[in-house]
Chain A
Amino acid sequence: MEKEELPVEIPSISVLKTDGLTSTRQLIDTTANETFSFSFKDTSSDTAESVMISPGWQQAIDILRDESYSMTINQIRSRKRNEILRQAIDHLQHFRESLGTPEAAMHIHLAKKKLEESREFTTEEDHEVRLALSAVEGAIRQQKWRNYKSHQIAALQAALQECIDGKLHGLKDVLKITSKLRKQDIDIFPSAPKWAYEEDDETESDLVP
């Protein structure tokens, strides 16, 4: 599996408190013609600094010239999420290879953990990815690990790969994923427990005496 590294070491993470700004480009645009102040905090050293920017924003440019800051927060988030999803795919691969052995349980457990972890790197904007991940999680929840078949795991891996590849542009794309899962006999719907039928079973022989 090809690994994609973050472009530079980002001190985990230098948070630009930009009051609602979502990108450095927006920061530059906003500060171009007005006096603007912002603070940033380096969580690795736990120090915070405030900077006043006057028109011309030369200081801002100096900071933003660094490649790490030229990435949007969303890009960083989605890169991190993709990295975690790739790890989930790897765990599923190990799960696939160890099917029929007790080791398989550990790999599906680790894959589940990675899916859970990936959620921390999704926002409202990643709507389609979140829904697709929810479907994959639902699928894993629905089926006992020891009942999985190789082609079913491959379908789950493919679904995660589509999340990574950024191919989900609308609900229709997500539903294509769920349809593909269904074709491999993977159920994403939860099942009703026995109590939901109790009354039903009593009236099963619902005949007037």
Chain B
Amino acid sequence: MAEKRAESQPVLEIRNLKVNFSTYKGIVKALNGVDLKLYSREVLALVGESGCGKSVTAQTLIGLLPENASILEGEMILNGKNLTKKSKEEMRMLRAQAIAIVFQDPMTFLNPVLTIETQLEEVFMLQKNLLREAVAIQKAEGDVKFADLIKAKSAGSSQTDKGASKKETKKVAKKLSIDLLRMVKLPDPKRILKQYPFELSGGMRQRAMIAMAFARRPSLFIADEITTALDVTIQAQILHLLKGLRDRIDASTLMITHDLSVAAEVADRIAVMYGGNIVETALTRALFRKPFHPYTQMLLRAIPNILNPVERLESIPGTVPEMINPPPGCRFHPRCPHAMEICKGERPKLLEVEKKHEVACYLY
């Protein structure tokens, strides 16, 4: 299934993206030419250790870089539109519709003084077209489900009811809210609509955030470490939910995580990041079966595996590169056991070594 998806056109393409941060210590070269493609309806996991630039990539995509950051080079193309050329206001509209993001800590992104109902309603009110479509379906069929709207969007056959009254739209919005909460498997959605974020547990808040993200019918869904703050049993629930929703929501997912095991559970494809570069991308199975890049190989041997216990774990010598004065050439070369003279010169390009398996390393 995953293989089939990857055949289609990329929904998102990032080309040679470079982002710098100016700090009082110097210029932090956070992204050093990131190349990434995300295909329609696939789940791509962006994996790396802290400081590798995975969250900066997400921030750049949604146009929420802090003031001291600047995009030096590169472009990001979402559905044929170049995001790097958008104004602040245009990016804001995109965040309201095409791109949705869920972060690690839902409590910082939910408004503590508004009920879940008000917050979901706000999302809908920003999307007049979606509501008008919903009213049209409601009138034609007597009932409306969120799934119908997704279907209408992917078929491109949306009918809108321009004369919908405010009362009608509000009623439809509530109906859709309940349906969405049911989709993310929150028990008793009617009661939850009336509750405030503090009344929900961590897992439930994350589900509510996911519901709000999907309420926009986004074409790009970014999940930034969404299970990191959760317990394992709750994490398993959320991952299971994401797997189940993937086929019902017409969106491509960019999943950012530091945990290779989590990526193994849900991703179709994995991109490994190191020091501001993508060093390897492959289909999930291929990456675990035959990792090419020395960093990926070492990283896989550094995680304890219950299925294959070892007496000693392999650790990667040295530390994550300092991004103010990063090592020249391949940023991994000071820690790499296979480093050659050429690695210190120019940065290796991401090249396809096997079908759908790209590696940035001079060994191949």
Chain A bound to chain B? no
Interface residues, chain A, with chain B CB atoms under 8 Å away: none
Interface residues, chain B, with chain A CB atoms under 8 Å away: none
